[in-house]
A and B are shown apart, each in its own frame.
Chain A
Amino acid sequence: MDFDYSIIDTVLKEWGYGASSIIPVLHAVQERYHYIPRAAFPYIAKQVDVGEARVYGVATFYENFSLEAKGRFIIRICDGTACHVRKSTPILEALRTELGLSVQKRTSDDLNFTVETVSCLGACGLAPVLMVNDEVHASMTEEKVHALIGELKTEVATEVVHA
C-alpha cells in the first residue's frame, strides 16, 4: 500500500508549514492509518523544515501516537482512579483472554483488535469504562466484555462478507 501524502499536505495547508503543525499532522495520519507509518516521517520533516529526529521525538513522546500498526477496533480500557477503584483490572484481563492478547502483545494477528489502557477517559461517573474507537461503553463488567467482543467480531465478519 502506498502512503497517502495528501493527508499531510491538507493539514499543512490549514495549519501552516511550521513546526507547530507537527502534532496536528501526526493526528491526521494516525486517524487514517491507526498508526504512523515510517514513510510519514521524512516527508513531514522536510515539509516543516526540521530534522527527522525532531518529528520522531514528538511522535514517541506522546502516549496517543503509535509507530506500530494497530487494529481496526482500538479498545482502550480506562485505568483512571475511579475505574481502578471500581475494579477495571479484571475487565482488562477478560479482554486479553477473549482476544488472546497480553501486556506485550497488544494487537491481534488479524489486525482487528488492539487492547490498551489509558490513564483516564474523563467518564469517571460511569466507571469502569472502556472506549471502542470513539465510542464510550459505561459500567463494564466481565460479562459485558464477552457480549461486546461478540458484537465486534460479528461486525468484522459481516464486513468481510460484503467486501
Chain B
Amino acid sequence: MPELKDREELQQMRAKYERSFQAEQKKIIVCAGTGCVSAGSLEIYQRLINLLEGRNMPCAVELKNEPEAGLTGIKRSGCHGFCEMGPLVLIEPEGCLYLKVKLEDCEEIIEKTIVKNEIIDRLVYTKDGKLYSKRLDIPFYKKQKRLALEHCGQINALSIKEYLAIGGYRAFEKALFEMSADDIVQVISESNLRGRGGAGFPTGRKWAEAKRQRAIPKYIICNGDEGDPGAFMDRSVMEGDPHRMIEGMMIGALACGASEGYIYVRAEYPLAVSRLGIAIEQAKKLGLLGEHILGSDFNFNLTISRGAGAFVCGEGSALISSIEGKRGMPRVKPPRTAEHGLFNQPTVLNNVETFAAVPLIIEQGAAWYKSIGPETSPGTKAFALTGNIANTGLIEVPMGIKLRDIVFDVGGGIPGGGEFKAVQVGGPSGGCLTAEHLDLPMDFDSLKKAGAMIGSGGLVVMDEKTCMVEIARYFMNFTQNESCGKCIPCREGTKLMLGILERIVAGEGRAGDIERLLELADTISSTALCGLGKTAPSPVISTIRYFRAEYEAHINEKHCPAGACQKLKKLFVDDQLCIGCTKCVKACPVGAISGEKKVAHTIDSAKCIKCGACVGGCPKKAIKTAA
C-alpha cells in the first residue's frame, strides 16, 4: 500500500475498502481472541478456507483492493466476548452465531449456511428450549451496548484495510483537519469521559492540564498493563481492535501537543504485543504514523514498551519509572504526571478503554456520548465477567445498569443451582457487593458510596460456597506480594493484615482480630504513598462490612460457614464404609485415629491436624470431610 500524502488520498482509500467490504456477500468471522484460539479456533479458520477453496468458491482472507461480487470474506476477529461458548463463528449478514464449533462442523457450515442459507440448529444458543440463531437476540448480548468493543468480533483484527472500511481513522482525520487542540479538549471535557483505568478521573481535565504545559517534547502513554487479577478487557481491545486504540492516542497527541507515544503492555500478553506491533507497522506504512502525517505538520511515533510483571506499574508514576528503565516504584504527587511525567516532561497517561472511546466521541459529539448512562458517569464500561456464573466472558454495558441485570440477564445467573452471594468488583483495590446491592446502578459514584469501585472492571461472581474471609486473604496476599516496598504502611501494613487473615482462615483467629484489621486498614489507607497501597485494605473492609458474621464464625466457633476453608473442615470416618483395616492409623502422624481391627475407626478432632494423610491412605474412601 502506498503512503498517503493527504486527506483526499485517505478518503479515497477508505471509500475503496468500504466498497470491497460491502461487496462481500457473506462474511464468516471466526473469533481469534485468546479464549477461542486456545480452544482451537485457528484450525477451524484454516479448515473453512480449505473447504471453500476445495469447492472452488470465491473466498477472500484479505480485503480485496477492488470489489468482487459473490465473494465470501473469511476473517479472524478479536474477542466476541462469549468466551465460555467458544470457539465462536459468526455468519454475516445474517448475524447468526455458532457456538462451540468443532472441526467436524465446518463442512456443514459451508454446505448449509453459506451455500443454502440454512441455520444449523445444534450449533446455536439454546435456553429453556428456545433457539437463538441471531447473535443479538441471545440474552448475553441483549442488554449490552458495545462501543469500545464494537469492532471486536466484527472485523479482521489484523487488517488496517478493514478498519478503514468501517470508517477507521475518520475521527483522527476530523481532529487533524477540522479541529484545533482546544476544540478537541473541549469536546472530550464536555463529553465527561472519565478514565476507565479505575478511579474515573475526568479525561478532559487531564488533557487540558498537559496541553497548558509549555515544555516540549510531550508524551502520551497508553496503560495496557492490566495487572488486576480477574480482568481482561484491555487485552481484548488491544488484540481485537488495535487501530481503534491507536487512533484514540493520535487524537490525544493532537490535543496535548505530544509527538511521541508509548503503549505499555503487560508481558503476559504476547498476542496483544504482536498485534499492536503489526497495527503500528501498518499505520506507519500508510503514513498515518511518522513525520508530516497526511501532509500536515503533525508528527507522531509510537513505541511498544513491554512490562515485566509488577502490579504496581498500573499506577501512573510507577509505570513511567518502568518505561525509563527503573524499578517500577511510584513517587509522591504532586507534581502530577501531566507536568512531570516521562523523562520529566509533560505526559498524558490514559487507559486502553479510555483511548478506545475517544474516536467515537470526536465523531459523534459530546452530547451523543452523554446521552448514554448517567450524567456524572456517561458512556459504557467493559467488564470481565467471571467466577461462578453461567456466561463468563467479556461484556460492555451502559454505565448505570443494575448489577442484577449484569448477573442474571447478561451473565445468565449462577450455574448448577447455586445461590448468588457476592460480586467482587474492581480487583484488589475494590470491594464486594452483595444481594442487597443488586439494584445498585453500576457507575463510578454509586459504587464508591457502597465501598467498592469500578477499578479496572473485573467482576468476579461468587456463590454460597465461596468463603469471604478466604477471598479477603487471597487479595491481601496478592497486594502484599505486589507491594513495591517503598513506603512502610504498604510494605509492613499489608503484611500484618495478611498474617491476621491467614490465622483466621486456619482456625487460629483471636478475639479483637476484626478490630485490629480495621485499625490497620484505616492507617494504611490514609498514609500509603500510592493508589495501590491506599486501596489495598478495601477488600478486607468491605468483606467485614457485609460479612462480619462470617469472620466471627471463623474466630469464635472455628467454623467456616461456606465450608471452604480447608483447615476448618472436620475429618470423620464413615462407619458404613470403614472395614477397620488400620491403614489410616498408620498414616496419621499425630495419632488421632483409633479403633479395633475390623471395626469402624474414629478420628479425634481435637488431635487431628487436617493434614489429609489418612484420606490418601484409606482404600475404601471412608474418610470424609464436613464443614
Please tell me which stretch of A23-31, A102-110, A145-153 contacts chain B, meaning at least 4 of its Cβ atoms lie within 8 angstroms of it. A23-31
Q: Indicate if the CB atoms of A58 and B326 lie closer than 8 Å.
A: yes
Of A64, A80, A137, which one neighbours B267 at CB under 8 angstroms?
Answer: A64
Q: Does A10 reach chain B (CB closer than 8 Å)?
A: no
- Cβ contacts under 8 Å, B323 to chain A: 20
Q: Which residue of A lies closest to B272 (CB)?
A: A122
- Cβ contacts under 8 Å, A135 to chain B: 38
Q: Does B454 reach chain A (CB closer than 8 Å)?
A: no
Q: Indicate if the CB atoms of A23 and B227 lie closer than 8 Å.
A: no
Q: Indicate if the CB atoms of A119 and B387 lie closer than 8 Å.
A: no
Of B231, B392, B475, which one neighbours A120 at CB under 8 angstroms?
Answer: B231
Q: Indicate if the CB atoms of B231 and A138 lie closer than 8 Å.
A: no
Q: Mark B419-430, 1 if CB is under 8 A from A, else 0.
A: 000001001000
Report the bound CA distance from A58 to B394 in whole Å: 34
Q: Indicate if the CB atoms of B308 and A65 lie closer than 8 Å.
A: yes
Known: A20-B325, A81-B458. A125 touches B310 (CB 8 A): no
Report the bound CA distance from A27 to B458 in whole Å: 28
Report the bound CA distance from A84 to B310 in whole Å: 19
CB of B380 to closest CB in A, whole Å: 19
Q: Indicate if the CB atoms of B227 and A120 lie closer than 8 Å.
A: yes
CB of B382 to closest CB in A, whole Å: 13
Q: Does A18 reach chain B (CB closer than 8 Å)?
A: yes
Q: Does A47 reach chain B (CB closer than 8 Å)?
A: no
Q: Indicate if the CB atoms of B308 and A81 lie closer than 8 Å.
A: no
Q: Indicate if the CB atoms of B392 and A124 lie closer than 8 Å.
A: yes
- Cβ contacts under 8 Å, A65 to chain B: 308-309
Q: Mark A46-88, 1 if CB is under 8 A from B, else 0.
A: 0010000010011001111100000000001001111011100
Of B38, B227, B386, which one neighbours A81 at CB under 8 angstroms?
Answer: B386
CB of A61 to closest CB in B, whole Å: 4
CB of B286 to closest CB in A, whole Å: 22
Report the bound CA distance from A20 to B394 in whole Å: 34
Q: Indicate if the CB atoms of B388 and A123 lie closer than 8 Å.
A: no
Chain B's interface size range is 35 or more
Report the bound CA distance from A122 to B38 in whole Å: 13
Known: A23-B325, A126-B38. A120 touches B83 (CB 8 A): no
CB of B530 to closest CB in A, whole Å: 15
Of B37, B230, B306, B310, which one neighbours A124 at CB under 8 angstroms?
Answer: B230
Q: Indicate if the CB atoms of A85 and B388 lie closer than 8 Å.
A: yes
- Cβ contacts under 8 Å, A48 to chain B: 325
Q: Indicate if the CB atoms of B35 and A125 lie closer than 8 Å.
A: yes
Q: Does B84 reach chain A (CB closer than 8 Å)?
A: yes
Q: Indicate if the CB atoms of A85 and B84 lie closer than 8 Å.
A: no
Which among B230, B231, B310, B388 has the greatest number of chain A C-beta atoms within 10 A? B230
Q: Within residues 301 to 330 of chain B, which ones have a CB less than 8 A from any CB in chain A?
A: 305-311, 322-328
Q: Indicate if the CB atoms of A125 and B322 lie closer than 8 Å.
A: no
- Cβ contacts under 8 Å, B266 to chain A: 122
- Cβ contacts under 8 Å, B37 to chain A: 136
Q: Mark A11-41, 1 if CB is under 8 A from B, else 0.
A: 0000000111111101100000000000000
CB of A12 to closest CB in B, whole Å: 12
Q: Indicate if the CB atoms of B474 and A124 lie closer than 8 Å.
A: no
Q: Does A111 reach chain B (CB closer than 8 Å)?
A: no
Which among A57, A64, A86, A123 has the greatest number of chain B C-beta atoms within 10 A? A123
Known: A64-B309, A124-B230, A124-B231. A82 touches B386 (CB 8 A): yes
Q: Does B551 reach chain A (CB closer than 8 Å)?
A: no
Q: Does B478 reach chain A (CB closer than 8 Å)?
A: yes
Report the bound CA distance from A81 to B426 in whole Å: 11
Count of chain A to chain B residue pairs whose CB atoms are closer than 8 Å in the complex: 143
Q: Does A95 reach chain B (CB closer than 8 Å)?
A: no
Known: A80-B229, A85-B388, A134-B270. A123 touches B325 (CB 8 A): no
Which among A48, A119, A129 has the greatest number of chain B C-beta atoms within 10 A? A119
Q: Which residue of B lies closest to A76 (CB)?
A: B268
Q: Indicate if the CB atoms of A62 and B474 lie closer than 8 Å.
A: no
Q: Does B508 reach chain A (CB closer than 8 Å)?
A: no
Interface of B: prevailing SS: mixed
Report the bound CA distance from A82 to B309 in whole Å: 19
Q: Indicate if the CB atoms of B306 and A22 lie closer than 8 Å.
A: no
Q: Does B186 reach chain A (CB closer than 8 Å)?
A: no
Q: Within residues 105 to 127 of chain B, which ones have a CB less than 8 A from any CB in chain A?
A: none
Q: Indicate if the CB atoms of A62 and B387 lie closer than 8 Å.
A: no
Known: A57-B327, A86-B387, A120-B228. A23 touches B322 (CB 8 A): yes
- Cβ contacts under 8 Å, B249 to chain A: none
- Cβ contacts under 8 Å, B231 to chain A: 120, 122, 124
Q: Which residue of A lies closest to B428 (CB)?
A: A81
Q: Does A121 reach chain B (CB closer than 8 Å)?
A: yes
Q: Indicate if the CB atoms of A81 and B424 lie closer than 8 Å.
A: yes
Q: Indicate if the CB atoms of B466 and A136 lie closer than 8 Å.
A: no
Report the bound CA distance from A24 to B325 in whole Å: 9
CB of A17 to closest CB in B, whole Å: 12
Q: Indicate if the CB atoms of B324 and A125 lie closer than 8 Å.
A: no
Q: Does A118 reach chain B (CB closer than 8 Å)?
A: yes
Q: Indicate if the CB atoms of A63 and B308 lie closer than 8 Å.
A: yes
Of B326, B327, B474, which one neighbours A84 at CB under 8 angstroms?
Answer: B474
Of A20, A62, A84, A118, which one neighbours B308 at CB under 8 angstroms?
Answer: A62
CB of B355 to closest CB in A, whole Å: 18
Report the bound CA distance from A83 to B474 in whole Å: 12
Q: Indicate if the CB atoms of B392 and A138 lie closer than 8 Å.
A: no
Report the bound CA distance from A31 to B567 in whole Å: 40
Report the bound CA distance from A81 to B310 in whole Å: 16
Known: A126-B35, A138-B39. A81 touches B427 (CB 8 A): yes
Q: Does B482 reach chain A (CB closer than 8 Å)?
A: yes
Of A57, A125, A131, which one neighbours B392 at CB under 8 angstroms?
Answer: A125
Q: Does A92 reach chain B (CB closer than 8 Å)?
A: no
Q: Which residue of A lies closest to B478 (CB)?
A: A119
Of A22, A57, A122, which one neighbours B235 at CB under 8 angstroms?
Answer: A122
Q: Which residue of B lies closest to A79 (CB)?
A: B229
Q: Indicate if the CB atoms of B306 and A120 lie closer than 8 Å.
A: no
Can you identify 23 A-B contacts, CB atoms within 8 angstroms?
A: A19-B325, A21-B325, A22-B325, A23-B322, A26-B308, A27-B306, A57-B327, A61-B310, A79-B229, A81-B424, A82-B384, A119-B478, A119-B481, A120-B230, A120-B231, A120-B268, A124-B384, A125-B35, A125-B84, A126-B38, A135-B38, A137-B38, A138-B35
B binding-site residues for A, Cβ under 8 Å = 34-35, 37-39, 83-84, 226-232, 235, 266-270, 305-311, 322-328, 384-388, 392-394, 424, 427, 458, 460, 462, 466, 471, 474-475, 478, 481-482, 484
**Known A20-B324, A124-B384, A138-B35; 5 more pairs at CB < 8 Å:** A81-B229, A81-B458, A123-B34, A125-B394, A127-B392
In the A-B complex, the 6 residue pairs with the smallest Cβ-Cβ separation, listed nearest first, are A125-B83, A63-B309, A80-B229, A62-B308, A82-B386, A81-B230
